[in-house]
Amino acid sequence: MTRKAPIGRRQALCLAALATPFLSRAHAQTVVILKAGHGGQTGHPTHAAMVRLADVIKDRTSGSVRMDVYPDRQLGEEREMVEGLQLGTVDLTAVSTGPLVSFVQQVGVLDLPFLFRDSAHAYQVLDGEVGREILGRFPARAMVGLGFWENGWRHMTSRGAVASPADLRGMKLRTMQNPVHIAAFRNLGASPVPMVWGEVFTSLGQGVIDGQENPLSVIYLNSLWEVQRHVTLTRHLYGPHLVLFSKARWDKLPAAARDVITAAMPEVTAWQRAEVTRLDAEAVNQLRGKGMTVTDVDTAPFQQAAQATYAQFKDRYDPALVARIQAVR
């Protein structure tokens, strides 16, 4: 019987080298890679929360699921990212209510001006029955609603001072592409100009628009002091960031991975909201330090002028639902 010659050390190393790429490729195929995007800068709490969520996912799935985060509209404007969820080109995003009304109309009830008394009221509503009802409508539009992060209370910036609704008369004020926002600012006396966020800074600098409205942290992180002089603390709208997942992708994830993401959301949400609150408080002094005049106005006249918006949308947003939201204590 012929004996096979033993494999030498050099031959063994060569065989191992040849096998390594195949082993690495096989290992790589076992890692699920998720693509997540948002429109904020890396300094915004939504980015930090998304990175935090990615770390939790990687840690609690022992590296079998990895989520790559793309900030600052790298995956498109907010509407494009939502469409990406439906198409399966984006796996997760956190977006404002503005573009979502075109996909799930009921989201628009959250855009009614002066709907929430304070942050605690907003959290109770969004984390409670009403929030669950809204999120429950997303699967029919090829998305899964995971929860509500925070963008912050929205305030106005402008070239000139704004002390009352009369000062808004004729002002070209940028709004999101959202019918409730447009109607609300028209009722306040402004001339609303719907515009995607990526065009706002240049439009302010060129005088295409006179003002805009956003949370304080967004105003600061985007250096709007370079093109605006005044901030008016109107708190006219509480802005959530809805965290959404592609349903097609969600359904393909291992059940254990879905459980990890679902369980992580409340803890990441609480952290993210606290960060927004902290940054907004700091932003007041930071904006003043950059030369902006920050004015805390009596909001009652603004609330009175904006009330007409409720009547305009009563057929779209059930007054009974609005009453339920306002009654939450």
Residues 97-151 have pLDDT tens digits of 988 999 999 999 999 999 999 999 999 999 999 999 999 999 999 999 999 999 9
- CATH number of the domain where residue 84 is located: 3.40.190.170
Distance, in Å, from the CA atom of 185 to the CA atom of 136, rounded to the nearest integer, reads 29
How far apart, in whole angstroms, are the C-alpha atoms of residue 206 and residue 204? 5
pTM score = 0.87
pLDDT at 5: 44
User: Tokens in use for 264?
Assistant: 């992580």
Which range marks the domain in which residue 188 is found? Answer: 28-327
CA-based nearest residue to 221, from 235, 201, 242? 201
Instruction: Give yes or no for a contact between 174 and 205, defined as CB atoms under 8 angstroms apart.
Output: no
Report if residue 12 sits inside a domain: no
Residue 199 is encoded by which pair of tokens? 């065009």
231 is a domain residue: yes
Query: How far apart are the C-alpha atoms of 283 and 306, rounded to whole Å?
Result: 26
Q: Is 2 among the domain residues?
A: no
Please tell me the distance from the alpha carbon of residue 180 to that of residue 203, in angstroms, as a whole number.
22
Q: Which residue carries 């959250």 as its tokens? A: 110
Residue 163, in any domain of the structure: yes
3-state secondary structure of 238: strand
Q: Is residue 165 part of a domain?
A: yes
- Which residues sit opposite 148 in a β-bridge? 242
Asked whether residue 22 is assigned to any structural domain, the reply reads no
Is 174 part of any domain?
yes
What is the distance between the alpha carbons of residues 156 and 224, in angstroms, rounded to a whole number?
A: 11
* Structural domains counted in the chain: 1
One digit per residue, the tens of pLDDT, for the chain of length 329 reads 444 444 454 554 444 444 444 334 444 458 999 999 999 999 999 999 999 999 999 999 999 999 999 999 999 999 999 999 999 999 999 999 988 999 999 999 999 999 999 999 999 999 999 999 999 999 999 999 999 999 999 999 999 999 999 999 999 999 988 899 999 999 999 999 999 999 999 999 999 999 999 999 999 999 999 999 999 999 999 999 999 999 999 999 999 999 999 999 999 999 999 999 999 999 999 999 999 999 999 999 999 999 999 999 999 999 999 999 999 99
Q: Cα 182 to the chain's mean position, in Å?
A: 19
Instruction: Please tell me the distance from the alpha carbon of residue 3 to that of residue 14, in angstroms, as a whole number.
Output: 22
Residue 257 lies in a domain: yes
Residue 11's pLDDT is what? Answer: 52
